[in-house]
Amino acid sequence: MQLDKIIIALRQRTPWEAMDLGVMVMRKLWPIIFFPWLILMSGVLLFVVFVEYQGYWYFAGIFMWLLKPVYESMILHIISRGIFGEYLSVSDVYASMGVWLKTGLRTTFFFWRLSPSRSFNMPVNLLEGLTGARRKQRLESLHRVPGSHSMGLTIIGVHFEYVVLMTLYILIVFIAPDSTTEYFNSVMDNSADQTLWIIIGSVLYALTIFILEPFYVASGFMLYLNRRTQLEGWDVELDFKKLAQRIVDPHAYSTKNMNKKSMNMENNHG
């Protein structure tokens, strides 16, 4: 990691500040996440709709939820490089699919999938590549301070999902109240209507995931970076690098520092 290229101000934050910073980071990185994320989510949704149309709606609903670690691993792959000034194109993201897809699938089909600290733990899997006893030891070290906050982030995310999903359902009712009432009256007697409503529900759930998932991943990743800053003194290391550069070439440091300030992001408490 090239700390001198990081787009946020490195300092030790409280866990709540770190999660808030994740939201701020998304304001910066959303343009480079949007298209790869849209392609992946559209592909999953098309498959789910096709399966539901064939009548296997129970499988399709579980499938979209089960694959969340795959979504998160791709988003984390983009954010983990974007935060250090490396902005990946769509082709770059999918050229390295083998890296993040492997991590996502392993998380999906192992007990890690049910971990409430998944967004905080996934950088250890994807970025550090640790497994077995080394992974367990690393997670124990990282979880000593922000472990409960990472679980709280997941709980908050689940509630946000519920609120956004219900809001989208209610929006349909407000847009066409008469048609919706007639539809609900006939839905139990018509299997075609049931399938249509299930497909609509899948589309709304996919839209909910599309909106919220990047913020969940970014907040978890900022918790992870903040904890590493506390453990490894990244802020001190970066200050020493700046001091050394300033001594060697004061003019170059001054110019670079001015440019960095114009790009640097900080939260409201920064």
Q: Which of 31-35, 76-80, 232-236 has the lowest mean pLDDT?
A: 232-236
Q: What are phi and psi of 265, to 5 degrees?
A: -110, 150
The model's pLDDT over 129-182, given as tens digits with 9 standing for 90+, comes to 877 788 888 888 888 877 788 899 999 999 999 999 999 988 887 876 666 666
Query: Measured between alpha carbons, how far is 182 from 174 in angstroms, rounded to an integer?
Result: 14
- The confidence score (pLDDT) of residue 187 equals 55
Helix (H) or strand (E) holding 229: helix 191-232
Structural contact between residues 79 and 33, judged by C-beta atoms closer than 8 angstroms: yes
Residue partners of 60: CB distance under 8 A and separation at least 6: 48, 49, 51, 52, 202
Q: What percent of the chain has pLDDT over 70?
A: 77
Task: Answer yes or no: is pLDDT of 248 > 90.
Answer: no
Phi-psi label, residue 10: left if phi above 0, alpha if psi -120 to 50, beta otherwise: beta
At residue 23 the predicted structure's pLDDT band, cuts being 50, 70 and 90, is: very high
Considering the entire predicted model, what is its pTM? 0.82
